[in-house]
Amino acid sequence: MTLPPNLSQIAQAVASGQRSAVDVVDACIARIEATDGRINAFTGTRFEAARAQAARVDAQRARGEPLGPLAGVPFAVKNLFDIEGEVTLAGSKVNRTNPPATADAVLVQRLQAAGAVLVGSLNMDEYAYGFTTENTHYGPCHNPHGLGHVAGGSSGGSGAAVAAGQVPLTLGSDTNGSIRVPSSFCGIWGLKPTFGRLSRRGSYPFVGSIDHLGPFADDLEGLALAYDALQGPDPLDPGCFATSVQPVARLLPQGVQGLRVGVLGGYFAAHANAPAHEAVAQAATSLGATTTVEWPDAAQARAAAFITSASEGGALHLQRLRMQAADFEPLSVDRFISGALQPAAWYVRAQRFRRVYRDKVNALFREWDVLIAPATPVAAPAIGTEWIDINGQRFPCRPSIGLLTQPISFAGCPVVAAPMWPSGTEGLPIGVQLIAAPWREDLALRAGWALAQAGVAHAKEPAL
């Protein structure tokens, strides 16, 4: 099955009048209906509302009114984003009895204001606690490049829907790697922005002190267009620290000219198999990176991120755990309970470390502009896998998928996940992380653009 036009191509075709928004959305709906029985990316659809919204875009053009930069582009969202009139499931069974959302999440509103058309909500690990989207309540999400393999998590539906060509744009969340892992496993582009860059208002939380929201897309230029539409201050969200909009799409052609690009070694080399190393080497060659760089305290940062996630996640769901533990996801309920029982002193120590750790990371970017690392240690494991091998060592599968992403998000740095296609994976992708200093998404996106222009990083037709 051939991939449909990508995000930036759709935006250009609708803007120029070559295609109508209704035609684009009808094709998207047909693709979802033809493929989702095998992928299981969607947990909810709103096709008639989408057709009506697309018709309004076409009516705007007919009246000669200006269109938004994403006019007619279909998108879907991880089901922890509020959609007005629908219950926000967050991958759970417990939330089914909650009242419907009274308004769309802020980021959903911003995409719609840019002309994008919402078509549905997407599968995820329950309450965002997982790396595989093997959801017991709604079924596992299947990887479009190998249907017997996981799509990653916790935003697995967001990654799989883009990789399958169902929609060119999705929204997800990333606490410990939940945008970068599905991007890596599904072979698409993802952006975890700086912590606090985008509003989280109207999304179901997991770990308030680490949660990030961001986009997935099937091309780098489209990812930048979406990110620009998502930007902006939100005075009603105390966790949004942005004070202005900093457009990046127009900066992409600068590429890596003048940038200092390095490759992370040490911890990141030790926790990646040969195909992941090959993906990094390909990216490094294209970007002119020849120097190995040591990231400070990566192992300690991962441990502190685990403690923080368990403590905050357990505290958030404590009352539900007391009353409805049997209704929780079997793959995560014990972790939530153990997190609720963790000594407070552990959490305090993790936060004290985080302050020192971020200072060390920020100092690293005085010497470097972009750093390259694998996004995952391995390609997507088979659904049901309990253990993975990394350089001859046996690791528990689900928590270890985030070995290379957790230290980065704990520092709050922006990361572009770029889709690479190394050998030795039976055709499955492995992504690389393009990491920049906080508030410098533009640099990570410029590096991604350079990889895309070189033909090294790109989406591929899925094995459907």
Contact 342, 228 (CB under 8 A): no
* Residue of 8, 78, 158, 199 with catalytic role: 78
The residue count for the chain = 464
DSSP 152: -
- Mark whether 158 is an active-site residue: no
* Residue of 121, 158, 173, 178 with catalytic role: 178
Name the phi and psi angles at 203, rounded to 5: -125, 150
Report the distance separating Cα 334 and Cα 337, nearest Å: 5
- Mark whether 192 is an active-site residue: no
The type of residue at 218 is D
> Could you please report the per-residue DSSP string of 307-374?
HHHHHHHHHHTHHHHHHHGGGS-TTTHHHHHHHHTS-HHHHHHHHHHHHHHHHHHHHHTTT-SEEEEE
- Mark whether 178 is an active-site residue: yes
Question: Closest Cα to residue 283, out of 380, 194, 184?
Answer: 184
Beta bridge partners of 432: 374, 418
* CA distances (Å), origin 67, targets 9, 11, 54, 246, 284: 15, 10, 12, 21, 39
What b/e readout covers 275-310, taking b as 16+ CB neighbours within 10 angstroms? bbbbbbbbbbebbebeeebebbbbebbbbbbbbbbb
* Residue of 8, 20, 121, 154 with catalytic role: 154
Contact 445, 191 (CB under 8 A): yes
Catalytic residues: 78, 154, 178
